[in-house]
Chain A
Amino acid sequence: MGLLSEGSPLSWEETKDLADHVRRHGIKQFINLYHRLKSRTGDVLKWGDEVEYIIVKFDHDNKIARASLRATDILPVLNEKEQNDPENVKSLWRPEYGAYMIEGTPGKPYGGLLAHYNVVEANMKLRREEVQQLLQPGEALMSLTSFPRLGCPNFTDPPSTVTPAEGTTRSLFFPDECIYPGHPRFKTLSRNIRLRRGEKVAMNLPIFKDSKTPSPYVEKFPQAPVGQPEATSAAQPDHVYMDAMGFGMGCCCLQLTFQACNIDEARTLYDQLTPLCPIMLALTAASPIHRGHLTDVDCRWNVISGSVDCRTKEERGLEPLKNNKFVIPKSRYDSIDSYLSEQGEKYNDVPLIYDQAIYDELRKADIDHLLAQHIAHLFIRDSVSLFSEKVNQNDEEDTDHFENIQSTNWQTMRFKPPPPNSSIGWRVEFRPCEVQITDFENAAIVCFVVLLTRVILSYRINLIIPISKVDENMKNAQKKDAVKTQKFWFRKDITTFSSPPACTACCQSSPDAKTDSSDCYTLMTVDEIINGKAGEFPGLIPLINSYLSGMDVDADTHCSIQQYLKLIQRRASGQLLTLAGWMRGFVRNHEDYKQDSLVSDRVNYDLLMELNAIQTGEKACPELLGRSLQSRTQESIPTAVRKAAGEYT
């Protein structure tokens, strides 16, 4: 979840005092790296996925599933392989926020051949198998967006206890022991976010009102420290209250990063994929249960957003500005606020907050308006984690201060400059997706998004809509059953350049004129966006198929891609359930469920056992995965394809 600098963390007071120091040098570092790397070009397509996992411990005797706090045992073993043979390992492993989490990525990025789409799933399988070998009896590795009973009594193995009156988080639900202890970053962030905010974080998700759910639903918190009303005062009736960073950053995501050929292509892809973020969030919805309650939302997004919301009351607009500079509308984890390409400029319709002096400094250093305001906007945030060894840096070479702020702006998209002294180019990271239970689904989502980037570049289509409309979509995307019930703003006229004369007659206006008008976008269902709407919108999958028909695809890759696209098509049309929809149904139909929104230990155990059986293939789940969908994924690129690609791979 960001830069993992090693060292000794400074106290919050020290970090706070150095906020401007980090900002000042971070900006200088960005200016230097920008001028060093702005003309870098000719980079090939390389890309990779990141899958996060939860280690689950099944207590079969008592029928309880718990989060197993064993990442600290498992990670060193996984990392040892990498240290011994960094060039040849098939996977890389990193810690994540939760002491029950790990993050896996492919050992090397995938490349620009179509055949690379066919190795993704096999690599994901290998990763699982690698961890599998290190698990103890009763343990399972699950790519589960959120552990359903996270924060419920006794949800960890070994048991852990909350310390509401002291410690890092002071949560009523999420013990400090659940924060990954192997790296100081995670506890430091948790503490500093709470201290900067001036109180615990607070997330309230609307509860799913079932037939026997009390109304209003009001929880009592006997564990709250006596005489500290603020420990529970943020809890709202009819909501599931959460009060720790772990509820958000302790969730798993599916992310992907791809390298662009140069900075301009990176800007284009950053902008073009932005409107897709809410759509992919709705389509991958996988977390209807939070802290043991069925909620009225299907996604993790707002939970994470709230879980790292370090804004003070002044910054949240609850008190007049006195000690802070700005009222800031969003958490540092949220949807992006501005486009970066010229094409996107006129759709930047949300007021962008930034320090004029920082913006001016960037402009003076010959950085264009769009990039300058983007960077200046990221830099309204303070550092929330600083290490004593990293305070003084060489701004000509180092980029730690820049990365410090950049990597704690957790947004739907991330625009990533090349790291210093590396062969890596300008990159874009796509971050909204919830992780799915099977490798097949995760591979499908990853391949779909990367294929779409190729369509965008090949056909030069334009998907951009106003930022305010993307924000609106983000809200709706998280609602229960959003795929089936919500409509989303989406661009219907995706053409970008003038057409041959024969068809100009059928277009109402010239491309320049129409981009300014609001009728270039409209409300569509996810089904219409993905599968098309006759006469109005071609659909993203038909466009991908059109692109594929123009490429050389080997038969196995073709088959796998078609299976992946079918999954996406059917999820979008509602023919197959989202994981969130499936989980909700499983809980509501469970004999131990009492129609009161509560997910008991027993229901949780059966749910996770069932999901694990689906993931391993022991059980079929046609309502989630279809009846016959199966890829032909392979561990490596076929020799014939490699030979044909010849010298350029």
Chain B
Amino acid sequence: MLHSVSDKAKTIHIETGNMLNMNNIMLKVWQSPVDELVECLKIVAKESPDPPPALDDGLLKIGPLKNNSELANSFDVEDKKDLKINVKVFVTKTDKESLLNAVNGALSSLATDTIDSLVLACPETMTEKSLSCLQELWRVLEDFVDSKKIISVGLSNIDTQLFISLYNWAKVKPSIVQVNLATCCVVPPALQEFSKQNDVQLNTTSDPADILPKDSMKQVIEPQLPFSLVWIFRYQVQVKCRGVLASKGYVVCCQRSL
């Protein structure tokens, strides 16, 4: 647990590093991705100096662990082109800045010019009626696609009607939609039909809408500290055409509450 931070710190990034190198995480059976993430963050927080040194720009970086900082395991991959970088962003607020920060954070943490696919997990607060709010976020992603920093974009945990409305409106169409199949095989028929007709990849995910609930966060950062969660992104690096995972990890961002 992170007990204290310097007054200078405005933002905290906790980086897990490549979790595939953490046997105690990867070889355990987790009930949900939440448990896995929390356990991992606890380990990283525990191993960090207390209080950690803050940086001049107010960014406090915690983790990754020393023996775990290499981005992707080497798989005799000749160059980066053979890797596929997938990112999923979870935001707690629906403002543009948070998403912008998160994507820029992903590009810089992963030291890459391009993310192959980025999926935005819709906050739980979004409903069928949140189109304008989602459009605002989507424009941020479209800009990244325009500047070729993201190749394809998608959405997760989204109401079917909202997805269809956004799809019909969007300049850059979502090419992925993720559904949580807690009970296997029950996909909303309308979504199934729409994605089939429009060649949208209908993928499954085991992520709950809230990947890091407040109660869990309390196990990582001392609840008295005036910081709150803004965004989280998860990256998964795969070796193309070989079905092999080369890296998987999270970056969690908290900001000093005003």
Residues of A within 8 A of B (CB): 41-42, 44-45, 111-114, 261-262, 264-265, 454, 457-461, 494-503, 506, 532, 538-539, 542-543, 546-547, 549-555, 558-559, 562-563, 632, 638-641, 643-645, 648-649
Contact = CB atoms under 8 A, between A and B. Distances in A.
A554 B203 contact: yes
A253 to B, nearest CB: 25
Contact of A632 (B24, B76, B185, B240): B185
Given A495-B23, A558-B204, A639 B86 contact: no
B206 A538 contact: no
B241 A546 contact: no
Contacts of B175: 640, 643-644
Interface string B192-204: 1001100111111
Contact of A546 (B26, B75, B202): B26
Nearest to B82: A42
Contact of B243 (A45, A506, A532, A554): A45
Contact of B76 (A41, A111, A538): A41
Nearest to A47: B243
Contacts of A501: 47, 65
A44 B239 CA distance: 9
Interface in B109-140: 117
B160 interface: no
Interface residues of B, number: 53
Given A555-B204, A644-B152, A503 B43 contact: yes
B23 A458 contact: no
Contacts of B68: 500
Contacts of B246: 458
B47 to A, nearest CB: 6
B240 A555 contact: no
Contacts of A42: 76, 78, 82
A647 to B, nearest CB: 10
A51 to B, nearest CB: 22
A554 B195 CA distance: 11
Interface of B: 20-24, 26-30, 33, 43, 46-47, 65, 67-68, 73, 75-76, 78, 82, 86, 117, 152, 175-176, 179, 181, 184-185, 187, 192, 195-196, 199-206, 236, 238, 240-246, 248
6 contacts: A114-B243, A264-B76, A499-B22, A551-B236, A552-B203, A558-B204
B29 A458 contact: no
A502 B43 contact: yes
A16 to B, nearest CB: 44
Contact of A499 (B23, B73, B200, B236): B23
A498 B67 contact: yes
Given A42-B76, A553-B204, A558-B184, 19 more contacts: A112-B240, A113-B241, A265-B76, A459-B26, A499-B22, A538-B27, A546-B29, A546-B30, A549-B33, A549-B206, A550-B236, A551-B245, A552-B117, A555-B185, A555-B203, A555-B204, A559-B181, A644-B175, A648-B240
Contacts of A639: 199
A299 B182 CA distance: 37
Contacts of A644: 117, 152, 175-176, 201
**Which 5 residue pairs of A and B lie closest in terms of their CB atoms, listed nearest first?**
A44-B241, A112-B241, A458-B245, A503-B24, A495-B23
B243 A559 contact: no
A550 to B, nearest CB: 5
A561 to B, nearest CB: 9
A539 B192 CA distance: 33
Given A458-B20, A461-B27, A551 B187 contact: no
B22 to A, nearest CB: 6
A292 to B, nearest CB: 43
A543 B201 CA distance: 25
Contacts of A532: 29
| Chain B CB within 10 Å, residue with most, of A461, A499, A501 | A499
Nearest to A644: B201
